[in-house]
Structure 1
């Protein structure tokens, strides 16, 4: 196989597009220590801060998505696509990558389109069970379409010969994180011997989940299990202010934090997770065999988070509460029923493990090696 010497990664907007790219890079670097990597994103997305901290070279282009209705903004979007494709071509010509890999978000459109037009081997990685508009657009141009859910293949029927079912690199990475038996005590001041529930709303937090968790605090206060609520950094002060305004004190079995930056390690000490159903999060849950209560975001394109959630629910690995049905009582009742039932927890754990793909990076690296040979 030809050695992988230079790669370009592109993906942005949310952690769900960025972390799989970084996980793949780290596995490539482990196999090819001298590999050089350039990450192309936008200055507005989370990648602008996350990627440089990870030690990768970062370049930005300016791009935005098309509106689904008639809007003057679409004229700007088309113009940015043209100018950003031109800039992407310049960056690719200078860097001379062996392969260009897109992991989602609008920024991938000009970068992967530029790569295809320059005959540079290219791959898109679709993490969701419903394909995003950018990946649908790019599917005709790229060489490989890597997928994480069998259900998404229906969105690429014209290009079935390009589809490779690889899974998400984040899964392979999280199972390599070390178990820390003291993490609940040292990081949260909680007991390492009690069952623990984690509530969070993704990298940015989710007000609806925070509100339901807040309302459920009183019900959780006298239970023989403990709850961690990660509000999201921008919502943390509001959460604390609401507590103060209502003159409420958190019971000892509940901890509220703004953000958890070592989530894979924390996951390994958790018994039940309540969260959104973004693709990368579900990859982590299934890799570790974590039972979950999923609350799909209703604000995403094509309602893809509900489709993601159903892939776990239909296989017995998770329960789902639609946001329209989410209240403090509904959240508490779901949690209380599951966490107090060891047989149900064990069954959900086994079902989640059966869905996990723990060698996704290895599969992707093999595809890259074949592609560039």
Structure 2
């Protein structure tokens, strides 16, 4: 019986990196491969996961940070010597540094996957050492010409349940369904922003004499549900509020429009379903990559981008009203998303 190839996936720092690593690991043939996911984020109901300490860079505690890094690399060296991985696949973020460094020191082949439109610091550091560079953000992410021969355009791995969602986008002129996803870095801001959006949007509908039921499904942060419920009830808006949706594919199914952050995984889901979206980029993302992610799609006419500022609510409400008053805009966006979805890209499992 042939021995299975042992592949290590590394993702953490944010859940976007982690979920992509888990999704990629799940695509490998279990008869051929055995996988391990290394992360610094605790997750439930996930097999073959190993945790390492959280080590975000902190200038005040640089010595402690440096020592922790060395210790973690040494621990991983011992682990890899005991069982040598066939390949180590890094998904960016500071969490990937130690597992990839240990692999490089032992001359184990590494693959780095860049999800975003701008390559992050960890991936940039390992770019010269990588055997293969997987670029998941369409044609947006550029690398130095010296490393172009290593690069392969791939899909960003997304949750398997997303593929059971429908990509139908016929606008329902009786109920207008809005899905709001804050992600790991935005739900609390959306808790305060979205009520202003809905209030303005309802005003536009009244002024335009549109008889439309507005239905909201919103991911919320802890502690704000009761306040939001009162707001939606007072404005006769059918609202479903949860901190996390374990049936996200069903929520996507019903949505006419999605208001969300613009992390790479979220954008890949939007494209996979050809689901129109208004992106509100997280303004404190590393290298402002969420803004560049969102602008890549909006510049193609495949989405809308609204920056998080004092005017955001008004701009989002105006976009919602434009969609209702001119459904052809929605169809145009869907057509462009389908074109992006059908662009030729490989899957990560094809390059392992």
TM range (shorter): 0.7 to 0.9
Aligned partner of 2:304 in structure 1 is 319
Equivalent position to 1:177, from 143, 160, 164: 164
**8 Å contact 1:4–1:98 — kept in the other structure?**
no
Equivalent position to 2:128, from 114, 126, 140: 140
Aligned length: 340
Is residue 285 of structure 1 aligned with residue 277 of structure 2? no
Report SS of the residue matched to 1:197. strand
Aligned pairs for 1:73-112 (under 5 A) are: 73-112=61-100
Aligned partner of 1:295 in structure 2 is 280
**8 Å contact 1:230–1:260 — kept in the other structure?**
no
Q: Return the offset for 1:356.
A: 2.2
Q: Return the offset for 1:62.
A: 2.1
CA root-mean-square deviation: 2.9
**8 Å contact 1:213–1:328 — kept in the other structure?**
yes
Aligned partner of 1:151 in structure 2 is 140
**8 Å contact 2:5–2:32 — kept in the other structure?**
yes
- Structure 1 residue runs without a partner (length 5+): 182-190, 369-373
**8 Å contact 1:175–1:358 — kept in the other structure?**
no
Q: Return the offset for 1:98.
A: 1.3
Aligned partner of 1:9 in structure 2 is 9
Structure 2: how far apart are the matches of 1:272 and 1:4? 44
Report SS of the residue matched to 1:213. helix
Equivalent position to 1:197, from 170, 175, 178: 178
Aligned partner of 2:43 in structure 1 is 49
Structure 2: how far apart are the matches of 1:308 and 1:198? 20
Aligned partner of 2:332 in structure 1 is 347
Q: Taking structure 1 as reference, are residues 205 and 323 closer, same or farther at Cα in structure 2, changes over 3 Å only?
A: closer
Structure 2: how far apart are the matches of 1:303 and 1:309? 11
Structure 2: how far apart are the matches of 1:34 and 1:250? 56
Q: Taking structure 1 as reference, are residues 327 and 306 closer, same or farther at Cα in structure 2, changes over 3 Å only?
A: closer
**8 Å contact 1:293–1:318 — kept in the other structure?**
yes
Superimposed CA distance per residue, residues 232-264 of structure 1 (whole angstroms, 9 cap, x where no aligned partner): 3xx2422423655x7963524333332222323
Q: Taking structure 1 as reference, are residues 264 and 204 closer, same or farther at Cα in structure 2, changes over 3 Å only?
A: farther
Is residue 213 of structure 1 aligned with residue 211 of structure 2? no
Structure 1: how far apart are the matches of 2:112 and 2:279? 26
Structure 2: how far apart are the matches of 1:74 and 1:157? 34
Superimposed CA distance per residue, residues 179-226 of structure 1 (whole angstroms, 9 cap, x where no aligned partner): 499xxxxxxxxx997331111211354333221211233345575143
Is residue 60 of structure 1 aligned with residue 51 of structure 2? yes
Q: Return the offset for 1:147.
A: 0.5
Superimposed CA distance per residue, residues 115-156 of structure 1 (whole angstroms, 9 cap, x where no aligned partner): 1221212111110001111111121222111011222223x4
Report SS of the residue matched to 2:295. helix
Q: Taking structure 1 as reference, are residues 282 and 339 closer, same or farther at Cα in structure 2, changes over 3 Å only?
A: farther
Superimposed CA distance per residue, residues 147-185 of structure 1 (whole angstroms, 9 cap, x where no aligned partner): 11222223x4442221111121228x466325499xxxx
Aligned partner of 1:36 in structure 2 is 34
Q: Return the offset for 1:8.
A: 0.9
Q: Taking structure 1 as reference, are residues 272 and 237 closer, same or farther at Cα in structure 2, changes over 3 Å only?
A: same
Q: Which moved more, 1:200-209 or 1:115-124?
A: 200-209
Is residue 305 of structure 1 aligned with residue 290 of structure 2? yes
Structure 2: how far apart are the matches of 1:357 and 1:36? 30
**8 Å contact 1:213–1:229 — kept in the other structure?**
no
Report SS of the residue matched to 1:324. coil
**8 Å contact 1:286–1:354 — kept in the other structure?**
no
